[in-house]
Structure 1
Amino acid sequence: MTGDKAAQNAWEFTGRRWFFPSALIHELDPDASRSGRRPRRTARDWAVDFASFLLAVLVGLLGAETLSDNRDIPPALVAADQVLGALSCGAVWLRRRLPLGLAAAMVPVGFVSETSGGVAMIALFTLAVHRPFRYVAWVAATQLALVPLYFWWRPDPDLPYPAAIVLLLVLTVAVVGWGMFVRSKRQLMLSLRDRARRAETEARLRAEQAQRLAREAIAREMHDVLAHRLTLLSVHAGALEFRPDAPREEVARAAGVIRESAHEALQDLREIIGVLRAGESDDAGRPQPTLAALETLVAESRQAGTKVVLDQRVGDPAAVPASVGRTAYRIAQECLTNARKHAPGTEVTVAVTGGPGEGLTVTVRNPAPEGDIPHVPGAGQGLIGLTERATLAGGTLEHGPASDGGFRVRARLPWG
């Protein structure tokens, strides 16, 4: 696959170096634009410049033949005309580097030298391709203004005076129009390339943002799940540490909770790491808990020694939308985890009310703990994550101290 991609890039680069002019490649290639160096001629540039040189020489030879047939022109003037024509043909190779200077210089040279007429037209075409219209308008208007005077000074032996003027006017306008068409076509190509680059950049930014949001969601899920499991481990391990003389039944029960919680934490961690490796969303793996699993969560907390009162006034928890039920479950889970850490021994009340059309309200409250409770450090990221989770679900979350010194968390979630 890498070799095919390299071959394709090489082919595209070679084709571009042939079919595109160097100025357009310089605009299309950002590395060339940043280098500040003048673009080198491509193979196409050499072919076009050589063809332009041959065309200028051919027109100059036709003009020299016309001068030699006119017996009224002095030989010295004919020789001077041919010298100017030869120098003008050589100047064709400078048309890409100095388009405005060459076109402006060819206005007086083309007026006094008939063999330089082809170079004047080529310079005007190059100016129309490489410079804005205001420069082209000034140079072309000056040439058109000199056309009647030119044919008055050097009348064409084969055409009448009005026909010669009209013919040269039409030729000049056609050259300018052709050059402007080529310029507009190149600008269109540049605009399409710029749009493609912007689209690629926007797509990359959207992908990075989606990846960041997915990882943040996985991080919140990891915090909610593992914090609950590890708190259970800490509580039962602490009970075994401070009560080594506890009955065998209590020790066995605590050891069973520790083993089960460790197993669940490892399984949750394994699933989350698997999601990160696969780059998928956090919907993979086991089904996520909803409001119907709230009673199981409360029973698990009671088994860990936390006094929990569940007041669930939702008739059918399974009818709650999955996203709303999962958010309510995570809010209750995080609040029970915080209560075990910061207010051990207190009775935690979990109230869930609401119905379709009126929304779902989750309230978790605990009184102030009695006695001296050791300070448990915390960064407050759990409550911040809960607030963000509720906001993403379209609801609100309030938390803070209660009037009796306890703590209360209240969330309102939509249930349309």
Structure 2
Amino acid sequence: MPAEVAGSAAAPAPLPDRAQSAPGPLFRLPALPSWWRPWGATALDVLIAVGCAWFDAQFRSAFPDGHLHSLLPQGWETWVTVVAALLLVLRRRFPVVVAAVITGGLVLGTGSVLATMVAFYSLARHTPRLRTVFVAAPAGLALVVGVAVLQLRTYVPHHGGNFAAIPVLIAFAGLIAVVVPVLLGLYPRTPRQPWWWEHRSAMLFDVLLVLLFPLANPIALVSGLNGAEDDPLMLPPAVFVVLVMAQGMALIWRRRYPDTLAAVAVVLLPLVLPSFSILPVSLYALAKYGSSRRNLLLGSGAAAVVLIGWTAFTTEFDAERFVPFTVFLVVPSVVVPVLFGMYRGAKRSLVVTLQDRADRLEREQHLLASQARMEERTRIAREMHDVVSHRVSLMVVHAGALEAGAGGQGVAADTGKLIGDMGRQALNELRQVLGVLRLNDAEQQVPLSPQPTPEDLATLVEESRAAGMEIAFDVIGEPPATDSTVQPTLYRVIQEGLTNAHKHAGKVPARVEVRYQKDAVRVIVENEAPNGPVPSLLPSGGHGLVGLGERVTVLGGTFEAGALENGGFRITATVPLP
């Protein structure tokens, strides 16, 4: 093939230019860089950048001059804030650079509050390497926390605020500006089943639970930081804060170690006060994820006892305050979490059970379908063997005689006509079998073909006689009127027996006997021993007798095949009548 022809055949012809075949639009938008496409994403980035610039400028102008920390000359802060926010149009292409510039602007004294959140979200969402995110996000968090400390120290003296609330505000600033945006940006990129969590949503929920736990009761946290006069054990504020943070961080393992978490919550309950305790969450996790009801009973009972003892100690056994205060603590901290956890655990177990059952049924269905396919393949292979083997065997025998030239031209013509008839019969039967395989619609039906009759048995024997075999054919008894399921099996048994005689014994005397009894029909096909070695002109797959045995046993009959003492071979099949 020439190179020009090969090239034209391998590559399709170029499509005609649409601009040449049809008039173009009056105004065509300019092409954008690949990292800015599509237009919808570009418009969204521009809208986000303009919105963040406007919000941050308004946020900055709400504070009087000198009330916020800034290293820039007076009047420059707002302009730098707007410029930093407008850089968000590049957040998809350069997320690390945009986050670094906006965070650096915070160090200089700008007020890019909303822009910082969007920048760290883009950092986690669009950075190709997670390692870069895990390095840049903590560095940005440290800078944001440091800037928050500087801003609060500059702002609080002008308003006479309480310094005890500064840690809460600093933690809130780092959480909102960096931690939550990074987690939201990483959400689609985390694995589907990370570590011991069932799915990504469960992991993010537990992480947010740990981060938001110190802010669950900010009023009590501020009062606890102001002093420890309400603490029965008079713990120092620093120790108090460390214990509260430590047990809050332990919530990350509430699904994997619910028993241990519940024990830690009960032990730390008198030290961290009920308002800061993780007892309700730990008892809920124990009831939902715990595997032992005994541990649940012990944990909830111990928690109730500790709460009652703590209440009695703080109320100095005042009966008017003891009973309502105890009920107020025990019911929401122990009873409600345990009951709700047990309900959720039972529902979770039911869902898991139903899912396992559905998976098992699906596997069983696949196995049944595979078994059905194998059975159908076996049946089709058996039909193909029965249809083709006998006809082709006779054709080969007659072709051998024709090749030898025995009998003259008249016999050769008759033999050729006989071979043609047998070939056409084989093709018709083969076409019927293959027609079943081509059906692709459930509404289509398999084309019906005439079933073998007792007269067809005689025709089958005559075909073998025409091939030169001497066959004695005996029919004993009268065939029943309703034997549509039996006659095809009898036909195949005789067909296979005569085919095997042609293959392995040659032109030897054979006997076919069909005996109709009262409740069964018995078929015997046997041949004598060959006179000498038979030339193996016909291939044999060894599946014919196996298929016959399957046919007979499916109908509830018996099948025997084996060699005789005189060197011959016999096939015997007994099929019950319907």
Q: Same fold (TM over 0.5)?
A: yes
Corresponding residue for residue 219 of structure 2? 61
Larger Rg: 2
> Which TM-score applies when normalising by structure 1?
0.77
Distance in 1, matches of 2:577 and 2:260, equals 74
User: Which one-letter code corresponds to 1:414 in the other structure?
Assistant: P
Equivalent residue in structure 2 for 1:226, among 388, 400, 403: 388
1:305 to 433, 448, 468: 468
Say whether the 8 Å CA contact 2:210–2:249 is kept in structure 1.
no
Change in 2 beyond 3 A, CA 1:351/1:195: same
Which residue of structure 1 aligns with residue 507 of structure 2? 345
SS at structure 2 position matched to 1:398: strand
Which of 254, 271, 289 is the aligned partner of 1:112? 271
Matched, 1:139 2:299: yes
Deviates more, 1:64-73 or 1:124-133: 64-73
Consecutive unaligned residues in structure 1, runs of 5 or more: 1-30
2:315 aligned partner, one-letter code: P
| Structure 1 counterpart SS, 2:532 | coil
Q: Secondary structure at the match of 2:511?
A: strand
2:354 is matched with 192
* Aligned equivalents of 1:72, 1:213: Cα separation in 2: 79
Structure 1 residue 196, shift from structure 2 partner: 1.2
C-alpha distance after superposition, 1:234-286 (max 9, x if no partner): 11111112225x332211110011112222223333443443454799x9345
Alpha-carbon offset, residue 411 of structure 1: 0.8
Q: Deviations over 1:142-182 (max 9, x none)?
A: 21232332122122879532444455444413311211211
Give the distance between the partners of 2:278 and 2:506, measured in 1 at CA. Answer: 95
- The match for 1:181 is 343
Residue by residue over 1:174-217, the C-alpha shift from the partner in whole angstroms, topping out at 9 and shown as x without a partner, is 31121121112112111111111111111111111111111111
Contact residue 244 and residue 277 of structure 2 kept, 8 A: no
The answer to which structure, 1 or 2, has the higher relative contact order (CA under 8 A, 6+ apart) is: 1
Mean alpha-carbon deviation: is it higher for 177-186 or for 268-277?
268-277
- Taking structure 2 as the reference length, what is the TM-score of the superposition? 0.57
Partner residue in 2 for 1:20: none
Map of 1:152-167 to 2, 5 A cutoff?
152-155=312-315, 160-167=321-328
Amino acid at match of 1:363: I
1:382 and 1:75 map into 2 onto residues whose CA distance is: 92
SS at match of 1:197: helix
**2:524 maps to which of 347, 352, 363:** 363
Change (3 A) 1:59 1:125: farther
1:328 and 2:494 equivalent?
no
Cα 1:128–1:72 shift into 2, 3 Å: closer
User: Please, which runs of 5 or more residues in structure 2 have no aligned partner?
Assistant: 1-190
Q: Which residue identity lines up with residue 262 of structure 2 in the other structure?
A: A
| Residue in structure 2 matched with residue 151 of structure 1 by the alignment | 311
Does the CA contact (< 8 Å) of 2:214 and 2:245 recur in 1? Answer: no
State the shift of 1:337 in Å: 0.9
CA pair 388-337 structure 1, distance change in 2 beyond 3 A:
same
State the distance in 1 between where 2:515 and 2:324 align.
96
Q: Secondary structure at the match of 2:449?
A: coil
Report the Cα distance in structure 1 between the residues aligned to 2:201 and 2:528, rounded to whole angstroms. Answer: 84
Deviation per CA, 1:331-383, whole angstroms, max 9, x where unpaired? 01000111222233333221112245x211111122334x3242537454322
Q: Secondary structure at the match of 1:345?
A: coil
8 Å CA contact 2:394–2:467 kept in 1: the answer is yes
- Distance change in 2, residues 1:113/1:64 (3 Å): farther
The Cα RMSD (Å) is 3.7
Amino acid at match of 1:295: A
Higher deviation after alignment, 337-346 or 82-91: 82-91
SS of residue paired to 1:160: helix
Correspondence for 1:204 among 351, 366, 375? 366
1:242 and 1:280 map into 2 onto residues whose CA distance is 50
Look up the equivalent residue of 2:564 and give its one-letter code.
A
Aligned length: 379
Residues 402 and 93 (structure 1), Cα distance of their counterparts in 2 relative to 1, 3 Å cut: closer
